[in-house]
Amino acid sequence: MRLTYHYYKLIKFINPHIKGSRKNCTYYLNLDHSMLQKIIILVFIILLSNIWLSCNNSNEEIKSKLDSALKEMNSIKVQKIKDSINNAQNLTKLMDSLNKAIGGNINDLNALYELLKPSIFIVYTFDGELNKYQGSAFIIDENGVCLSNYHLFENISSGYVVNQEGLKFKIERIISYSKESDYIIFKIALGNYYLSPLKVTTLQPRIGEQCFAIGNPKGLMHTLSTGIISGIRDGGKYLQTTAEITHGSSGGALFNSKGEVIGITSAGLNEANLNFAINILHVDKVHSISETNNAGRNVKNFTVTSPKAFFHNSPSNSQRRNAYMVYGEYGQALEEINGFIYVVFTNSKGQTSIGWIQTKDVEFGNFKINNSRNYSTSSEYEVIVDKAIFHSSPDFNTSRRGYLVRGETFKAIAYRNGFIYTEFVNRNGIKSIGWINENDVLLK
């Protein structure tokens, strides 16, 4: 019988007495037929045994791996349960902290104060003889709608408000007022600027509730006083409070512990700790105005720093349009994507452009707005920007190197197309003649 080497060695192992021979690489055994059958059966049995042992070992290995995986899964489940418990505990702690800040007490008054004070202004008003009056006001709508006391506005001819950064905003028009209740609703000229409005309560305050007021007594900006609601008078029209309200705080905001406006501070008798505010629920139109409040809007103010900032149809260089903003113009970035900002801009001619402007052409931050539209050559004007650039003609495209700086004053010679013509001599005796943009000045 002819066999390969491996089978030859196997049969010789089974029965060493079997005779065989080798020729070249082939092996030969001398077997009769019965012996061959026995060997084949034996080999088959050995092979089956090996297969069974292999399968048995594989099953043991699989079982071991399954046991290990189950143990790991159980461990993960236990850890997840622990994590869930910890997260729940942390969430509870967070909610407790929030409740303390905005709930039924004022434990974190400083946080509320810092959040709310940018929306409280000093208001200056002038009568026909240019006598100056000072009080407080606050904003309740992103379009520039503000509240204050009527007595600050009675018989006045002009006025403006000043925010915490010293920016001045002209009082543009009166929306509504009540002389009897001593409140007034008016609008300031924001232009393209954004100021965060305050939230107005819809719930009636209760006696004993904590409250606080922010105002500007004697011009001391953003003075904070705290107290409680100590009485509700005249059918709910007035709130009596122990939070101190002194001269100059008239027209400021009285807040509940959640930071919502509950009243317009009006008067105080310090010797008796009697202080009063107009209940915001008794101010007509105020809630219809505040419902459009967009205080959570993420708006970034910007000023154009390139000669021309072109509009694009999409945040891509491939879709540039002919429309553009020029150096010194300002606006709001409503969205920012891929190095572009989305802008809705109205120029001094009333033309509106909507689209995307590259961020490389602008500088983010606060800018100044127009505060004086009615110019007179007999009055003095004050620069309210860092640099008021001179122009050769009443056009943004004719800017020169000369400029006036913040606080400098001048008299207007002429007015045209949003620009004031003036002659100015600085402290070094250098004379500049040209056109100043009206957005950069305020009537003194």
Q: Report the candidate in 246, 247, 248, 250 with the shortest Cα–Cα distance to residue 263.
A: 250
Average pLDDT rounded to a whole number, residues 327-333: 77
- Please tell me which residue, 38 or 364, carries the higher pLDDT value: 364
Which of 61-65, 356-360, 420-424 is the most confident on average?
356-360
Which tokens hold the place of 331? 């606006």
Predicted pLDDT of residue 33: 54
Average pLDDT rounded to a whole number, residues 429-443: 82
Cα(46)–Cα(245) distance, rounded to whole angstroms?
105
Number of H helices, E strands in the chain: 4, 31
Amino acid at 300: K
pLDDT band at 6 (very low <50, low <70, confident <90, very high): low
With 60 as the cut, is the pLDDT of residue 18 above it?
A: no
Q: Are 424 and 432 in contact (CB under 8 A)?
A: yes
Average pLDDT rounded to a whole number, residues 150-170: 85
Classified as helix, coil or strand, 64 is: helix
Task: Say if residue 25 is exposed, middle or buried (CB neighbours under 10 Å; 0-12, 13-18, 19+).
Answer: exposed
Predicted pLDDT of residue 272: 65
Amino acid at 287: H
Predicted pLDDT of residue 442: 80
Q: Report the candidate in 232, 336, 334, 332 with the shortest Cα–Cα distance to residue 277.
A: 232
With 50 as the cut, is the pLDDT of residue 24 above it?
A: no
pLDDT band at 101 (very low <50, low <70, confident <90, very high): very low
Task: Give the dihedral of Cα atoms 343, 347, 352, 358; nearest 10 deg.
Answer: -30
Average pLDDT rounded to a whole number, residues 48-75: 62
Predicted pLDDT of residue 81: 53
Predicted pLDDT of residue 27: 46
Phi, psi of 155 (to 5 degrees): 65, 25
What DSSP assignment string belongs to 316-361?
SGGGEEEEEEETT-EEEE-EEETTEEEEEEE-TTS-EEEEEEEGGG
Mean pLDDT of all residues in the chain? 76
Predicted pLDDT of residue 119: 94
Task: Give the dihedral of Cα atoms 308, 309, 311, 315; nearest 10 deg.
Answer: 150
With 90 as the cut, is the pLDDT of residue 147 above it?
A: yes
pLDDT band at 5 (very low <50, low <70, confident <90, very high): low
pTM score: 0.49
Which tokens hold the place of 210? 């904590």
**CA of 277: how far to CAs of 202, 267, 373, in Å?**
16, 7, 34
- Helix H segments across 103-191? 109-116
User: pLDDT tens digits for 377-400?
Assistant: 556 888 877 788 898 887 777 788
List Cβ neighbours of 114 (8 Å cut-off, separation of 6 or more): none
pLDDT band at 75 (very low <50, low <70, confident <90, very high): low
Predicted pLDDT of residue 419: 81
Cα(100)–Cα(76) distance, rounded to whole angstroms?
36
- Please tell me which residue, 62 or 148, carries the higher pLDDT value: 148
pLDDT band at 200 (very low <50, low <70, confident <90, very high): very high
Q: Are 249 and 265 in contact (CB under 8 A)?
A: yes
- Please tell me which residue, 118 or 307, carries the higher pLDDT value: 118
